[in-house]
Amino acid sequence: MVDEEAEPNETTNAENVVFIGKKPIMNYVVACITSFNRGEKQVVVKARGRAISRAVDTVELLRRAFVKDLEIKHIDISTEELFRAEGQKSNVSTIEITAIKAGTKKPQEEK
Amino acid sequence: MVDEEAEPNETTNAENVVFIGKKPIMNYVVACITSFNRGEKQVVVKARGRAISRAVDTVELLRRAFVKDLEIKHIDISTEELFRAEGQKSNVSTIEITAIKAGTKKPQEEK
């Protein structure tokens, strides 16, 4: 249950993966928006340890304020084993939120 | 994005709902185990704000260490509006993890 927020790459690993670290949430929201603007149909938001709450915050803010037609496609939780410098093993929880932009729907939803 | 961990009822609201607050994680793990032992087929772990990471920790620890046949049936994230004492409105993210005990499977999984 040790909270490791080692932030492997902080923002983007693959094209459409946003890794949540300790920066302001808006940074990650912008990273998601950028990803969608680049033409990605889905974005995967990943976090571990205490950053998990911030991953949920990111996706919720994105959905509420910026991408109205955002849909949560899948949420996966898991555990990663970390080996610390002292040789100790510790487990850290992880989350992966896959969000898709349902922008390809019929335009009848305007009002 | 204000982290409100107001802990509506701390442990159990309904029979099989475990609300994650600030107690040690093992308390919530035990609450889940108790719920399953009472005969519940599924347990819903709820949290909001910063407690979201702890909800994931709870379910992961439960699955890793105590209920080997635990399956994550569904994970839902959302936003709740909170009205603070000062009359301000703030949004807080929430998570609901529904876990089921797949204990009704064939006993061939023993080894």
- Taking an 8 Å cut-off on Cβ atoms, the answer to whether A56 and B97 are in contact is no
Closest residue in A to B1 (Cα) is A57
pLDDT of residue B43: 96
Range of the domain at B19: 14-103
Residue B30 lies in a domain: yes
User: Residue B62 phi/psi, 5° resolution?
Assistant: -60, -45
Distance from CA of B16 to the nearest CA of A (A): 20
Distance from CA of B49 to the nearest CA of A (A): 6
pLDDT of residue B87: 81
Residue A5 lies in a domain: no
Total of domains in chain B: 1
Residue A111 lies in a domain: no
Find the mean pLDDT for residues A79-102.
Answer: 90
Q: What is the pLDDT of residues B67-104, one digit of tens each?
A: 989 999 999 999 999 888 888 889 999 999 999 988 65
Find the mean pLDDT for residues A89-95.
Answer: 93
Residue A3 pLDDT class (50, 70, 90 cuts): very low
Contacts of A51 in chain B (CB under 8 A): 53
Residue A109 lies in a domain: no
- A90 versus B95: the higher-pLDDT residue is B95
| CATH number for the domain harbouring residue A62 | 3.30.110.20
Contacts of B72 in chain A (CB under 8 A): 76-77
Residue A1 lies in a domain: no
Q: What is the pLDDT of residues B22-37, one digit of tens each?
A: 999 999 999 999 999 9
Name the region of B41 (left: φ>0; alpha: ψ -120 to 50; beta: rest): alpha
Contacts of B75 in chain A (CB under 8 A): 75-77
Number of alpha carbons in the 13 Å side-chain half-sphere of residue A108: 1
Distance from CA of B92 to the nearest CA of A (A): 8
Q: Is this complex scored with an ipTM above 0.85? A: no
pLDDT of residue A14: 61
State yes or no: pLDDT of A89 exceeds 80. yes
Residue B72 lies in a domain: yes
- Taking an 8 Å cut-off on Cβ atoms, the answer to whether B77 and A56 are in contact is yes
Residue A13 pLDDT class (50, 70, 90 cuts): very low
Contacts of B49 in chain A (CB under 8 A): 53
Burial of B15 (0-12, 13-18, 19+ CB in 10 A): exposed
Q: Are strands A42-48 and A17-19 parallel, antiparallel or unpaired?
A: parallel
To test the contact with chain B by mutation, choose from A5, A26, A67, A93 the residue with the greatest count of B C-beta atoms within 10 A, namely A93
Residue B82 lies in a domain: yes
Residue B42 pLDDT class (50, 70, 90 cuts): very high
Residue A9 lies in a domain: no
* pLDDT mean across residues, chain B: 84
| DSSP state string for B46-78 | EEETTHHHHHHHHHHHIIIII-TTEEEEEEEEE
